Amino acid sequence: MALRMACSSVLRSGTDLRVNGRTIATAAILCRRSAPLGPMPNEDIDYKNLESLDKYRSYTRYLKKAEEAKNATAWWKTYKQYLQQKDPLHGVERVNIGLPHGRPPRRMEARERKRMVKENKNNIELERALRLCTFKIPLERVQACWEQTSGPYHIQRLADHYGIFKDLFPMAYFVPRVTLRVSYGTGQVHYGNHLTPTEAAGAPQVTFEAEEGSLWTLLLTSPDEHLLNSEGEYVHWLVGNIPGGEVSSGEALYDYLAPIPAKGTGFHRFVFILFRQEGTINFEEDIQQLPCVSLSERSFKTEQFYRKHQDVMTPAGLSFFQSQWDQSVTSTFHNTLNMKEPVFEFDRPPVYHPPQVKYPHRQPLRYLDRYRNGKEHTYGIY
């Protein structure tokens, strides 16, 4: 009995030695890691005594120090530098091809703001309405103020989010200075909202503020619809030499075609772009025989169209919506384009269920539902 206890104690101590030896070997490997190629960021800061650090005391000093740290050379690569190494065009500054922004002087803005504040303070009815909580904010004035101040920049950010500039104007962008209002019979086009092809079956009403004697070009294109070229477009509407804001008086280069997002391809983008012309443009090379019912003739590239007329044309307005297939698309393919409708279907594989066990352990109460012989499966949280 004593011999057995002695043997077991020796075996146990040997196991402990093996574990300790493995731990020591792992620690040794970690200690043999190579040192950094240079000083690490903020390694000179004594984090145990933060009160001894110098205070910036002003935002200007902080901004100056931040700019110095940003421009200082470092031995490591940033995430942006790694991306530039793989994609040379990543982070390249884009060109603004839009209208210049004529902002009034700040002095005039401050003077106008002071005048409005003074008028509001002297307005007894306004003070009474605010005190009694009966004041109603005029949404029309808020909308007009937004369109004149920060609205164009918000629209530009939305267009970047939806990839409009990336697909239509590579390496370029523009700030839509002219508010483009597009209205179908039952729906309004904003900036990425959803409209069905049935709602957009007919040509919309397009309005915008224009000076007398000015000329414009209106384009409606879809960068997602092309059936043969993934980078191609189908032009749905193109009107040039529009006098003032009268779209109906312009020169129709392509008649209006309803949206045709193919079945099974999800949502497609449809983009309205308004160009300001420097003068009358000869569109003989761009005009098509109306009505244009051939998709091959409607193949289009916004970038090439703009490069051809960039000396006398500047993008000024933008609006877009999204649409996906409905029954009216089938009618457009069959009756308007006289062609078979392309359909993209996804073959969903059957749901996999592991073999059923006789005594399921730790399974939900609806475990047997996956193995019933009914055609419709009852799906639950398994």
CA distance 94 to 68: 25
Note the CATH number of domain 151-336: 3.90.280.10
Burial class (CB in 10 A: 0-12, 13-18, 19+), 351: exposed
DSSP one-letter code for 311: T
Which pLDDT score, from 0 to 100, does residue 23 have? Answer: 46
Burial class (CB in 10 A: 0-12, 13-18, 19+), 99: middle
pLDDT in tens, the chain (382 residues): 444 554 454 444 444 444 444 444 444 454 566 777 788 877 888 888 888 888 888 888 899 988 988 888 888 888 877 877 776 666 678 899 999 887 778 888 899 999 999 999 999 999 999 999 999 999 999 999 999 889 999 999 999 999 999 999 998 999 999 999 999 988 899 999 999 999 999 999 999 999 998 999 999 999 999 999 989 999 999 999 999 889 999 999 999 999 999 998 999 999 999 999 999 999 988 888 888 899 999 999 999 999 999 999 999 999 999 999 999 999 999 999 999 999 987 767 777 878 888 888 888 877 777 777 655 554 444 4
DSSP one-letter string for 161-175: HTTHHHHHSTTEE--
